[in-house]
Amino acid sequence: MQYKIACHSTESWLTVIWCLLLVFTASMAIKEIFQLLQAPISYIMSSENWGQWLLIASVLIAAWPQVKKKLVNLELFMGSETTGLILVRIC
């Protein structure tokens, strides 16, 4: 009796998690911009908002190598004339 081991691609799961991370980070940045537009003075005085921007920046800095890798792979695959549409097609 032989057993076959089903292998799931971890790269596909990592891509899904990576895309979700970028979507949630972008939504958090949009929320922060909306709050800043509503009450700029009180927004700047709150230390919680500074912490939120530090969190957004740290996620983007940590994710940058993956973004750069995907952008280079996409440019090699599609050609450099589609550079303006790259952010839409990463995920």
In a domain, 3, yes or no: no
| 34 assigned to some structural domain | yes
Domain extent at residue 61: 10-89
Among the residue ranges 4-8, 22-26, 71-75, 85-89, the one predicted with the least confidence is 85-89
DSSP 81: G
Residue 2, domain member (yes or no): no
Q: What single-letter amino acid sits at 14?
A: L
Which residue has 């890798």 as its token pair?
Answer: 69
1 belongs to a structural domain? no
**Bigger pLDDT: 15 vs 88:** 15
Higher pLDDT, 39 or 73: 39
pLDDT digits (tens, 9 = 90+) for 33-71: 999 999 999 999 999 999 999 999 999 888 887 767 766
> Considering the domain boundaries, does residue 75 fall inside one?
yes
Per-residue pLDDT tens for 11-20?
677 778 888 8
pLDDT at res. 46? 94
In a domain, 4, yes or no: no
User: Residue 5 domain-assigned?
Assistant: no
Q: Is the pLDDT of residue 82 over 70?
A: no
pLDDT of residue 70: 65
Residue 84 belongs to some domain of the structure = yes
Quote the CA–CA distance of 10 and 8 in Å, as a whole number: 6
Supply the pLDDT for residue 38: 96
Instruction: Note whether 28 and 52 are within 8 A (CB).
Output: yes
Domain count, the chain: 1
